[in-house]
Amino acid sequence: MRVAVIANQGDGDEGYVGERLMDLGADLSRFVREEPRSLTDLEHRTDLLVLLGSDWSVYDDRFQESIVAERDLIVRAQAADIPVLGICFGGQQISNALGLEVSPTAIPEIGWKMVSSRDESQISSGPWFQYHFDRWTDARGVVSLASSPSGPQAYWYGRSLALQFHPEVTRETIERWCDEGRDALDRVGADYDQIMDDSRRYLAAARERCFALVDRFLMHSRDVEYPRVFAVDR
């Protein structure tokens, strides 16, 4: 299984998601958003896409060349029956490809937050790690499977699974993000020491839930029939 991981330069740790995929025999290749030409025809060179998070917003004019290249890749992947797992910004990019509204959330989240699932067979409830300032709005037939006070947290569309939370994060990733983002923590009223304490408490179970999520994603994208195109009006 050829897996293409797309991330920003210097922030490409696929963590527990990558660990589980490699356990299952996947061969991971990594691509950076800052090199949009590298995404050309990528749907013909991979069996699965993993889109990681970013400190960008899909509506930021400064990064539109890269954002549009990734968005168009998602549309092509869907038409080619390539499964797509989008995490945080990656989930917002799937929403962008669908023509859903992506906008700042009134309740930004950093740290371990409760996510409530409408279908535990697909998305597990429980504390998941969050680090986001934007959200998508359900529309065009999308009904999210999970939510938090900040907004929608997960949905399927075709072979694409959009997630707002971060199932992939390891302790190292959390520490790096929080060390580098002290101003962001202060801005949302998140406590660094509390996040570290929560990480010690929750990470082992979150790793197992991440593995189960990856397994369900692969089974679901293999066994169920889906629409093959995004019905997007531009």
**Distance of alpha carbon 226 from the chain centroid:** 20
Mean pLDDT of 178-201: 98
Domain count, the chain: 1
Question: What's the pTM?
Answer: 0.95
Position 28 in a domain = yes
Q: What is the CATH number of the domain that holds 133?
A: 3.40.50.880
Q: Would you state the pLDDT for residue 6?
A: 98
Position 230 in a domain = no
Q: Would you state the pLDDT for residue 74?
A: 97
Position 202 in a domain = yes
Position 49 in a domain = yes
CB of 8 closer than 8 Å to CB of 88: no
Position 127 in a domain = yes
Mean pLDDT of 128-153: 97
Report residue 189's pLDDT band, with 50, 70 and 90 as the boundaries. very high
Q: How much of the chain exceeds pLDDT 90, in percent?
A: 91
Q: Would you state the pLDDT for residue 26?
A: 97
Position 231 in a domain = no
Which two tokens mark 69? Answer: 């290249």
**Average pLDDT of the chain to the nearest whole number:** 94
